[in-house]
Every structure is written in C-alpha cells, then in structure tokens.
Structure 1
Amino acid sequence: MTAAAISISDRSCLSVLIPFYRDDPAPLVRALDAQVRETNASVEIVLCDDGSADPGLTRALEALQSEIATPLILVTKPVNEGRAAARNALARAANGSWVLFLDADMTLPAGFVANWLTEIGAGDFHAAFGGFEAEPPESREGRVHAAIAAASDIGAASDRGRRGATAFCTSNLLVRADVMPDVPFDEAFKGWGWEDVDWAVRAAQAGRLKHVDNPAGHRGWQSVEQLLARYRDAAANYALLLRKHPELAALPGAKAARTLRAVPGQGALRSVWQGLARNEGLPLRLRALALKLWRASWAAEVIGP
C-alpha cells in the first residue's frame, strides 16, 4: 500500500473517507471542497483506491490534489481487498478527530458539510448515520435497485431510529475517530454486504449511536444482473452476521430465509424468481419482490435453523 499526501500542519476536525474501485470520485471531491471552503473548517479528504489498477485515474486524482484547497490524501492498494478492508485503511490514514464515510458516487445537497460540523459541535454521540436520498436512475437498468432502496433503505431519522443499529449504512456515516481502533470493520466479511450492520451493532455496544437527517444523494444503482450476483454471493456474509449476532435472527430477512428452508425445490424456485426479476415487462414492485425472494433463498442455504 502506498500513500501520497499534502502536508497537514495540524490535526483536522473532520476526515472525509471515500473508498472506490474503478469509479472516479473526482466529482464528489470537488463538491466537498466547495462546501468545505464555505465553512472555513479544518477538513481533509482521504481516498482509497481498492485495487482499480488504473494508472490514468491515479494520475488524475494526484493532479486533483493541487487543484483543490482542501487537503487530499490518496491511498492506493495494489489489489482489491473489499469494502471492510478499504474502510479500515481509510480510518488508519485519517488525521481528523471525526471521520465521515461516503461512497464515491454520492452527491451532496447544499449545507451538507456544514450540517455535519454542527453535529460534531454537539458532541453527544459516538457515531451517526445521516441517511441518503434516491436520485433517479440514469438508465433503465437501475430502476429495480432504486425501487428496492426506496422501499427499504430510505427514510427519515425518526423512521430509521426505530430500527436502531440495523438501519445504519456506511454511506454517510460519521464516527468519532477514537472509536475506529476499538471497533474496526470485520475483514472476515468478504465482497459485498452486511459488514456495515455488523459494525453498527458492535459500535452500539461500545458507545452511543444516533440517526440524523442530513442525507446525501445516492445514485450508484446496480442492474438486475449485478444484484442477482451480489445477493447470491452475500449469503455467506449474512450467515456470518447471524453467527456473530444471534439476536438478529428475529429480523424479517432471517425469518424469511428460515421459512424458505422448509420449502422443497429451492433451485427451481430461484429460476422462477430470477426470470421474474429479469422480466422488464413486469411492474417494478413485482421484480423487486422476486429479487428479495432470490436473496432470502440463497440465505436459506447457509444459515442455521
């Protein structure tokens, strides 16, 4: 791992941490820089390239360091190590007393950085999730994912608060920096899925978590084919989550998976659900339901009774 950094003379108040893999975070970096300059606060931006192996992108981001006013650190990994490892690397590279995790494809509403700085000033918590808002998909391929997110992942702080730590995501997550060494992301979670819930449940045992209304825009919608693959591959992570936190077996997703375990012919049923999810002539709600059943069926293969 290598790191290139502009010298930082004093400890920053906030480090904004952005992992990416073959995405260009430059638009988000520029948006952050513009908002930071409006606040005149001590903020740095830390990027982690999780093995993109794209020299052109690396050169462009290194050039961005001299273009913006906000200190920018670029951590480059030679191979892709996954979401948990990338976020741990970002936390280690950060200089701020608070860290804010964002996804590389997010957008920022006016006042986003200032709102988080106000929350930091209150200082009555250890971690906070600001939520996100669904931006319209840029192509038809992302419509189903956007519909799933709108139905289950997007909500006001009051709604998310009723779900507690299980409603936390790492996209738009503010954490006091001294929490991270004690509660790092578990790198046993490989690939995509559930490492954020595991982190939040453990963090809630160590400190105070809260939900706030300071959403960022989310637009990284996956195609149905990508979701089919991700949901299948994430089953092992879901099983790990339930082994670590048996109390989460009461959640609706775990209950659905246990119910499906008793239904014979899961392979044939998955073929049906896969076909329904791919059928662009069906209503989005039905396609989204088919994907959820597909996900629960794969989870049923690996979780206990």
Structure 2
Amino acid sequence: ACPIEQDKDTDAVQDVFFPTAAAMLMRTHEFFDIGGFDRKMFMYHEDVDLGWRLWLLGRRVVVCRDSVVRHHFGGTTHSTKGLQWRERMGSRHNVRSILKHYQPINILKAYKGLAKLWIGMGAWRHTAHVVAWNVLKLPSTLRERWRIQRRRCLSDAEFFQRGFISPSPYPAPHPEIRDLEGQRDHWIETPVLRPGLVSAIGRLGAGWYPPHPIGRDEVRPFCGDARCGLKVTPGATGAVEVDIHVPEDAIRGGSFTIEANGTDISTPLTGEMWQTVRLEGVQADSQGEISLRLQAPSFRPHTVFKNWDFRRLGGAVRLVAFKPDQPRPPARPEGVSVVITTYRRRQALVMTLDALRAQNWPNLQVVVMDDGSGDETWQALQHYRDLHNDHFRLTIATQENQGQGMARNNALALVEEDLVLFLGDDIIPEPGLIHAHVERHTALGEPAAVVGFTDWYRQEMAVTPFMEMVNFEGHQFGYDHMTSGADQPFTCFYTSNISLDRSILGNQPFNSAFSSYGWEDVELGYRLSLRGVRIVYEETARAGHFHPTNVRTFYRRQLQVGRAHHDLLAIHPELKNHPSMPPERPLKWYRLVTPFTGFLVAVADSLDRRNLPVPKKILHHLMMIGFYRGRSQISP
C-alpha cells in the first residue's frame, strides 16, 4: 500500500522471499521436485511456505518489473468468513512452516515471540486453536521437516542476512489503501485537513496508516510517500502549510518534500516536536482542488527505538492547511432555523416549543413538520402558532407518515436561515443552547457539525440506572466517551441536538432507503465525514430528553435498530467491519440465551423499576441480543 514509482531505474528482476500464488510462474518439474504447495494448508501462507522451501533448497524467487497483473480486490474471504477465521488460518500455517524450515534455536525463538504476542493480546481461543491444529498435524509436519532439512542449501543466518525475514513476530501493518478520485466531487470547501481526525478520511489517498495520539494531538503516520487533497475557493492562491513530526534519532539528514498542483519545496528535517513546512505560490484549480503529495525518507521505528514497530514510516502529520493570499474574515452565524419533526408527541412538543421561546435569540425560525400524526398534533401546532408567533417565526407543515428522515428533508425546504439546528420533538433545550451552538461554530471557523449534550429531562421524570447506562455508555448516546471541543466519529451524529450550516446539507440529505427508525442520522454523518465535515461535541449546548423508557421498551427499540442496520449496510457495505459499527456476528453464546431473553428482560425490567442494581454487563448483553435478533429478522 506504499506508493511505488515504476520507472527505468527500478531493477528488472529483484529477489523476494516468496512468490504470490495468485500470479506466479515456475517450471513444472521444479514445482513437483520440491513438493508443490503444502496440502495441509487450505489457504493463506501456502505461498510463503513454498517460497521458504525454494530458497532453502537452492532455488531463487524473483519479482519481475515488467510482468504486471492487477488485483481486482473484493475481500471475499474477509466478508464471507470474517477476519478471525482468516487470522486463524494464517497463524496455524505459519506455526507449521516455522517447524518445517527453521533450525532448532530459531524455532524456539519464533515460538516464544508468537506465544508472548498472543498471550499479551489475551487471544486464548486463537492460541488454543493454533496449538490443537498443529498437534494433530505434527506427524506430517515432522516428515516434511526431515525431507527439507536433509536437502537444505541455505542456513538461517544466510537467510537473515539477505533481509528476507524480519525479527518481528508478525508482519508489519501496511498503510490503508484509498482512492481519492471517487471522493473529490463530494468534498466541502474547507482549507484545513487534520489527517488524524475522522473528517479527513475522504480526502486521504494512498500511503497513510491508522491514526494515533501524540500528546494531545490525534495524528496520522505515513509511509514516506502519501497523497491527500484540499478543496478551497476555485483559483485561489496562497501557501500550503504542513505540520510534521519525525523523531530526531530517525532523521539522518533527510528532507521533507511537499508537492501541490505543480509546485514543490524540499526542507531539511530539524527534529522539532512539530516542524511546520510552508510551500508558497500554490494555486487551486478551476474546481478549487489542491492535490498534495508528501514525501520524507522512510525508516523502521524498531531499528531506532527497539520498540517492535516494523512499519515503514516517514513521519506523522498533524495538520495540512491552505493559507490564502486574501483570507476571508470568519463568519458568525446570525440566523438560526430549528428543525423539529414530530409524530404523536403533542405534550412533549409543546414543552420543546415553550423552551425555545426562552432562548432569547434575535433571529430565530422554528420549523415543525408533522409526520402524519393523525391525532390532534396538527391542530395544536396551528393553535400554538397563533398564540406565540411573536417570540420566533414558527413555520409548520404536515405530510403523510414517511418516517423522520423524509420529514426532515421536507422541513429543510422551509428553512430560511444559514445555520440549521436539528432538535427532537421531545428534546427540551436549556436557555443557552442556541448561544452555545453558535459560539462553537464561530470558534471553529470552518464547516462543521456541532453536537450538543442531551441528558434526561430530570425535572419531570424519574431516571433509573438502566436509563443512565443507555444515555451515557453508547446504546442511545455515548457521552461518557466524548470530550467537549473534540472531534467525534460519525456514529455521534445525533439529530436530537445537532447544528450545521445549511449549505452543507443540500436538498435531500437524509436517505429515503431507511424503512424504520434508526441509523438514518448515522448514515448522513458518515457521508458528511467523507466530505470533510468535522463533528465536534459541545457540552454546554444542553437539553433534556423527555422520553421515559425502561428495559422492555428499549429492548423492543433495539429490535428495530437491528432491522435498520441492514439498510445501512445495504447502502454502505464498506461499514460491515468498521470499528465504529457493532461486530458483524454476535457472540456465539447469544444463541443459547435467546430463548430465555423474554424472561431475562422482564426480570431486569422489574429490578430496574425498583432502582435495584442490575449488572451493566447483563443489560448490555440483553440489548445486543435484541439488536442481533432485529438483524436476523431481515433476510440477507
């Protein structure tokens, strides 16, 4: 996944450890003479095993520069069997290969390294599977070892000298592979890219590793040659600044190079904690795009720090920013349009509208869309508008029941102000909520979504331990995992209390494919993140949630959320194994418990209503069982 320039200076033939079984050519008699692929290895590692044998038996393995094939990657095994199955296959075959090929002292060293790694990770089941499989195959493994060792022509020491095997017990991870071309049309206009944040993903090309923190900064390492992009005002001129960190011990006299739309600069690396490199004379193209390439000499951290990090690194980047020659002053949102969709919650809706009257914001519009309630909600809205329209501009409309996503889309057509604040119809804002949203947008100075804090409306309802858990630990909201002022993942795009610029949303931002409650807001948050929109948490934008619930009710909600998750994955299959998503498969023991779930939910509900403690782990597993039951009700 590190970009490679194929040119005339590259050697036509280079020695490599093993051939790629998907595209290799060798003489038939040589293949059968060394025993071909190990028949005990169903898939994964069988080509590594073959290459290892070839070298030990005096043959050679090379990669040919001018013999090119292209991989139409589909990740079939990953999607059908899962990552765990794939890792087990590779690990068990690796252990067999080690016993077949290494000399005794290196077998012990390799096994010690693997054991230390797996035990340190707590991978007990993985380790047990690998050991059990290899014990069963031990007689055939020893026979293969005898055949190889009596004919070997190369010692382990000579093998290490050639650089084919690293001291790492596992291969170093590769940079993530991304294609910028499919994303450019959707970028928002923003001069700032923070590679370590979620909002950068859609603007990063090849050469980047997953993010990690350095001090208080979330940064992203690169392999020494990485691509990224910005979108600014078309034709704008200015400078590009990049904040890069390279450990002083790893520099060795190298330089950092920035290329941007045909302009470039190389600057010696200094070893500062953060070195800012500035490239002047950059001009955006007619679409406002700036294509960047960042290059630095690569190094292996383990060779410098002995930290078992064998990645090929060029450094870590904190910030990429375009500084225009004629900067625009930061704009402060003045007008705010609050968008509320409602369905048969007249009492809570009136409480929400009353609380909005206390906001004291001079230019405030409130748009309420009745999603076909069919009760007296519409009449109540008309009456409220006639009584209180002097406090804010109340715009009301009604539609046939189509779900809250479509209701929000239709409500947006009635919005008149630049900043849109989505509120739930049962979300009671505290007096300073709108002011807190506007102040955070002003401080950011760039397109962003600001998500506020939604607690339970404790003045009017009792809050049980279960309700505390779902509000703070992730089943409904995850505020215990959020820091005010910090960027959040797209799963925190909570439309119960979130604001963003109207121009970012477009005409129909919410996807109409969602047939039931749940995930339509997360899906929009994901698309906005890919476009470069930050999602920032503002704790002082506070509201109360007037929606009493219990274990039984929330379990039924989880069934619906599970069904809607199917819609999300149908739209974005790439999210199937995303770390922010629930695991693709439930825990195996869930099947054993499922027949008793109704009874367990009833017991937990009874205890929680009496404020008697129920272990959070039990409540968590019950809610996840509900989620997966909802998932299973949708045919694949």
Scaled by the length of structure 1, the TM-score of the pair is: 0.81
Q: Paired residue for 2:552, among 212, 216, 225?
A: 225
Q: Paired residue for 1:13, among 317, 335, 339?
A: 335
Letter in 1 for 2:421: L
Aligned counterpart, 1:86: 407
Kept after mapping to 2: 8 A contact 1:224/1:278 = yes
Change (3 A) 1:251 1:221: farther
Tell me the distance in 2 between the aligned counterparts of 1:289 and 1:298.
14
Q: Paired residue for 1:278, among 605, 609, 627?
A: 605
Q: Paired residue for 1:61, among 376, 381, 403?
A: 381
Kept after mapping to 2: 8 A contact 1:277/1:290 = no
Tell me the distance in 2 between the aligned counterparts of 1:97 and 1:239.
34
| 1:46-76: CA deviation from partner (whole Å, max 9, x where unpaired) | 0011111123x32232122233221101111
Aligned counterpart, 1:34: 358
Q: Paired residue for 1:249, among 558, 574, 577?
A: 577
Tell me the distance in 2 between the aligned counterparts of 1:274 and 1:160.
37
Kept after mapping to 2: 8 A contact 1:131/1:157 = no
Kept after mapping to 2: 8 A contact 1:99/1:176 = yes
Q: CA deviation at 1:15?
A: 0.7
Letter in 2 for 1:227: F
Q: CA deviation at 1:247?
A: 3.5
Aligned counterpart, 2:466: 144
| 1:185-218: CA deviation from partner (whole Å, max 9, x where unpaired) | 1121122111111110111112322313223222
Tell me the distance in 2 between the aligned counterparts of 1:101 and 1:119.
16
Kept after mapping to 2: 8 A contact 1:148/1:288 = no
Q: CA deviation at 1:39?
A: 3.3
Matches within 5 A, 1:1-305: 13-24=335-346, 25-35=349-359, 38-40=360-362, 42-55=363-376, 57-68=377-388, 69=390, 70-77=392-399, 79-122=400-443, 123-136=445-458, 144-152=466-474, 153=477, 154-155=479-480, 157-158=482-483, 161=486, 163-181=488-506, 184-213=509-538, 214-243=541-570, 244-247=572-575, 249-251=577-579, 254-255=582-583, 258-260=585-587, 264-265=591-592, 267-271=594-598, 273-280=600-607, 283-286=613-616, 288-298=619-629, 301=632
Q: Which moved more, 1:67-76 or 1:180-189?
A: 180-189
Higher helix share: 1
Kept after mapping to 2: 8 A contact 1:107/1:218 = yes
Letter in 2 for 1:67: L
Letter in 1 for 2:356: L
Kept after mapping to 1: 8 A contact 2:409/2:507 = no
Q: CA deviation at 1:21?
A: 0.8
Aligned counterpart, 2:26: none
Kept after mapping to 1: 8 A contact 2:552/2:602 = no
Q: Which moved more, 1:215-224 or 1:131-140?
A: 131-140
Tell me the distance in 1 between the aligned counterparts of 2:525 and 2:432.
26
Change (3 A) 1:238 1:118: same
Change (3 A) 1:284 1:163: farther
Change (3 A) 1:61 1:264: closer
Aligned counterpart, 1:4: none
Runs of at least 5 residues in structure 1 that lack an aligned partner in the other structure: 1-11
Kept after mapping to 1: 8 A contact 2:336/2:364 = yes
Change (3 A) 1:51 1:284: farther
Tell me the distance in 2 between the aligned counterparts of 1:100 and 1:67.
23
Letter in 1 for 2:378: T
Letter in 2 for 1:283: P
Q: Which moved more, 1:285-294 or 1:260-269?
A: 260-269
Tell me the distance in 2 between the aligned counterparts of 1:112 and 1:263.
42
Kept after mapping to 1: 8 A contact 2:405/2:511 = yes
Scaled by the length of structure 2, the TM-score of the pair is: 0.41
Instruction: Work out the number of aligned pairs and report it.
Output: 288
| 1:98-157: CA deviation from partner (whole Å, max 9, x where unpaired) | 211001111222321222232344441232212322333855696533431132222475
Tell me the distance in 2 between the aligned counterparts of 1:90 and 1:118.
25
Change (3 A) 1:168 1:245: farther
Aligned counterpart, 1:8: none
- What secondary structure does 2:525 align onto? helix
- What secondary structure does 2:358 align onto? helix
Question: What value does the CA root-mean-square deviation take over the aligned residues?
Answer: 3.1
Tell me the distance in 1 between the aligned counterparts of 2:457 and 2:396.
27
Change (3 A) 1:267 1:229: same
Change (3 A) 1:268 1:125: same
Tell me the distance in 2 between the aligned counterparts of 1:91 and 1:116.
19
Q: CA deviation at 1:291?
A: 3.2
Aligned counterpart, 1:3: none
Change (3 A) 1:74 1:104: same
Letter in 1 for 2:383: A
Change (3 A) 1:294 1:140: farther
Change (3 A) 1:139 1:120: closer
Q: CA deviation at 1:266?
A: 6.1
Kept after mapping to 1: 8 A contact 2:448/2:536 = no
Q: CA deviation at 1:264?
A: 4.3
Q: Provide the identity percentage.
A: 23
- What secondary structure does 2:557 align onto? helix
Kept after mapping to 1: 8 A contact 2:558/2:624 = no
- What secondary structure does 1:58 align onto? helix
Aligned counterpart, 2:178: none
Tell me the distance in 1 between the aligned counterparts of 2:596 and 2:552.
17
Q: Which moved more, 1:258-267 or 1:129-138?
A: 258-267
Tell me the distance in 2 between the aligned counterparts of 1:200 and 1:151.
19
